Structure 1
């Protein structure tokens, strides 16, 4: 059954669907009145709905039954990715959304080959946000992860101050066989807590970046004994979080 994030009206007990989702329902799926869909409200509530009206620019869907769903991770996980080449950041956002990330922050690292073009910033962010939305719908999430504007190191350090646990996935720790930091850090997380993890670009993080991150309370952790690609490492981390917080509890 098709799933859409939409605006909910308590007064009418219905959802209003516009924009691309309206086009998808009316033109792509060619749905009719009384067809059923799943809608998710701004406060993360999910409902089985029946299409009540399809006008020239919106779909109105009446709530049939509210659904009890518990699909989100019990902690908020932010993925910070050193800007990689090509479309790897899109892969990270899509698959990271499916695995439960709540926020993505592109990071202009010392070794990032990609140079951020401010003129194209809004266009790229809009595309990435669309990818996150579609992945959230596909994986039956109740929130759409936020995609932030790319930041430099100092902005990242300032932003990270409010997080409960801050980690850096560092390949040198993996080479040393260090796996206790990740495990112990996940054990510290409580329901409602927040975790921020930094991943370097293809060339990894520079020594200077690592030292500055450590000085601001970040812990270095390995992700198993193997060296992972920049687009694979965030998925490993999110899978580990899910295993520890959902399957072991």
Structure 2
């Protein structure tokens, strides 16, 4: 059954109002008529079976016939903190991450970000990513639309938001710092830190946090995270983890890690 997202304000008693681009989809693409049934999700993890009743030029109206007891949202909320990738890879990351069960996305600029980020275009880019998240959420029968945060820097996010989660994970290859990198570390004011020689496996870290319900997952851009960023992240409580012996692309790593996390906590059929 076709699914559409509405706002709680669009529900008055048993009456539902659908507006925006979904009107065109209902009338011209799906060619629904009065009496047809659809599902409306109100964005608050509540959904309804709705019978269409009236059609106007800018809105479609329906009547709630049943409140559904759907449980498609994972109990473990994953925030994907994604280093901005080049090209249109972020579109794919948002789409597939939404399908997998990611709760929200935070695009971040990192030291090795390749794309030349244009703040003037941020509004249009966020609108596109939010639209992709909405369409993917409808397709995947999600009860919420994941939110796309404003672009920020990784450093700003670590200093302001990293303590808001039960667990912060950073996907990292675990390469040691070179002498030059350690010299830059001292010059950066981060202090004398030990070399990062290895990472714990993702499974081992998750085993140590059986009650985690909010997890931030940090994924680097094409070149991965700079060692300085890993040092700062660990200083802020992040746990560097490896996803296995193979190096994954930036658009693959977050999806794989999110699926592993949700499966580990029994939120993906496991």
Q: How high is the TM-score relative to the length of structure 1?
A: 0.93
- Given that 2:199 and 2:240 are in contact with CA atoms closer than 8 Å, whether structure 1 keeps it comes out as no
Q: Is 1:233–2:253 an aligned residue pair?
A: yes
Describe the shift of the 1:104–1:78 C-alpha distance in structure 2 as closer, same or farther (beyond 3 A).
same
1:79-138 CA distance string (max 9 Å, x none): 011111111111110000000001111110111110210111100000000000000000
Structure 1: distance between partners of 2:106 and 2:137: 17
- Given that 1:177 and 1:224 are in contact with CA atoms closer than 8 Å, whether structure 2 keeps it comes out as no
Per the TM alignment, residue 154 of structure 1 is displaced from its structure 2 partner at its CA by 2.6
Describe the shift of the 1:248–1:56 C-alpha distance in structure 2 as closer, same or farther (beyond 3 A).
closer
Gaps spanning 5+ residues in structure 2: where?
176-196
Describe the shift of the 1:89–1:212 C-alpha distance in structure 2 as closer, same or farther (beyond 3 A).
same
Question: Corresponding residue for 1:184?
Answer: 205
Residue 226 (structure 2) aligned to one of 206, 209, 213: 206
Residue 171 (structure 2) aligned to one of 164, 169, 172: 169
- Given that 1:186 and 1:241 are in contact with CA atoms closer than 8 Å, whether structure 2 keeps it comes out as no
Structure 1: distance between partners of 2:245 and 2:79: 23
Q: Is 1:124–2:125 an aligned residue pair?
A: yes
Residue 220 (structure 1) aligned to one of 240, 247, 263: 240
Secondary structure of 2:39's counterpart equals strand
Per the TM alignment, residue 14 of structure 1 is displaced from its structure 2 partner at its CA by 2.4
Question: Corresponding residue for 1:4?
Answer: 4
1:149-176 CA distance string (max 9 Å, x none): 1111232111222111001000227xx8
Question: Corresponding residue for 2:141?
Answer: 140
Question: Corresponding residue for 1:244?
Answer: 264
Question: Corresponding residue for 2:58?
Answer: 57
- Given that 1:48 and 1:67 are in contact with CA atoms closer than 8 Å, whether structure 2 keeps it comes out as yes
Gaps spanning 5+ residues in structure 1: where?
none
Q: How high is the TM-score relative to the length of structure 2?
A: 0.86
Per the TM alignment, residue 15 of structure 1 is displaced from its structure 2 partner at its CA by 1.8
Structure 2: distance between partners of 1:45 and 1:219: 34
Describe the shift of the 1:172–1:180 C-alpha distance in structure 2 as closer, same or farther (beyond 3 A).
closer
Structure 2: distance between partners of 1:10 and 1:233: 39
Structure 2: distance between partners of 1:66 and 1:248: 24
Per the TM alignment, residue 248 of structure 1 is displaced from its structure 2 partner at its CA by 7.6
Q: Is 1:35–2:36 an aligned residue pair?
A: yes
Per the TM alignment, residue 181 of structure 1 is displaced from its structure 2 partner at its CA by 4.6
Per the TM alignment, residue 226 of structure 1 is displaced from its structure 2 partner at its CA by 1.0
Describe the shift of the 1:151–1:226 C-alpha distance in structure 2 as closer, same or farther (beyond 3 A).
same
Structure 1: distance between partners of 2:209 and 2:144: 24
Structure 2: distance between partners of 1:78 and 1:189: 18
Count of paired positions: 246
- Name the larger-Rg structure: 2
- Give the root-mean-square deviation of aligned CA atoms: 1.9
Secondary structure of 1:81's counterpart equals strand
Secondary structure of 2:174's counterpart equals helix
